[in-house]
Copies of this chain bind each other. A is one copy, B any other.
Amino acid sequence: MSVEVITGSFDPGAAYSEFLAGARGIGAGVVFTGVVRSTHERPITALILECYVELATNEIEAIRRSAVDRFALAEAHIIHRHGRLLPGEPIMQVMTLAEHRGAAFDGAQYLMDYLKTDAPFWKKEETADGSKWVEPVAADAVARLRWEQT
């Protein structure tokens, strides 16, 4: 299983251990975990993630295959949650495995940059004053562009 679109929580470390268990003889593993943020300046009570599950699964698998091909990854795995998440909980995780660290890092960043703009999830922040859809960040569109120019 290389793409998991799930509602329950997951344990980032346990997921990484499981991923690495198949890594015998492969040199470099990279993980990125996104965690629900709640800051003093912008405290939230929960993050609601709406998802078009069937499309998310298809789209993330397509992004995953493209990363594996482009960076010659030995393996790549993506977990993305939807539903109602609490501050401090993991939202999503990408994990890559490659012979060398450059490819593992590039693969993980490529996956993140594409997920941000192409995976059908929509975040809504729940605060004491009500709830509000999160605006897309322009920086995410820019981050994605760099992979099209190289």
- Residue A25 is within 8 A (CB to CB) of chain B in the complex: yes
Contacting pair A17 B12 (CB below 8 A): yes
Q: What is the minimal beta-carbon distance from A26 to any residue of chain B, in angstroms?
A: 6
Chain B residue contacts of A87, Cβ below 8 A? 24-25
Tell me whether B88 and A24 are in contact (CB under 8 A).
yes
Q: What is the number of residues of chain A that contact chain B, defined by CB distance less than 8 Å? A: 38
A83 within 8 A of B: no
Bound Cα distance A37, B100 (Å): 10
Residue A105 contacts which of B12, B32, B35 (CB distance < 8 angstroms)? B32
B residues within 8 A CB of A88? 23-25
A45 at the interface (CB under 8 A from B): no
Option from B16, B26, B32, B36 in Cβ contact (under 8 Å) with A35: B26
Q: Which residue of B lies closest to A29 (CB)?
A: B33
Binding site for B on A (CB under 8 A): 11-18, 20, 23-39, 87-88, 90, 99, 101-102, 104-105, 108-109, 112, 143
Chosen A-B contacts, 28 in total, with CB atoms closer than 8 Å, are A12-B13, A12-B16, A12-B17, A12-B20, A13-B15, A13-B18, A13-B20, A16-B16, A20-B33, A20-B35, A23-B88, A24-B88, A25-B38, A25-B87, A26-B37, A27-B35, A27-B36, A28-B35, A29-B31, A29-B32, A29-B35, A32-B101, A32-B105, A34-B101, A37-B99, A101-B112, A105-B108, A105-B109
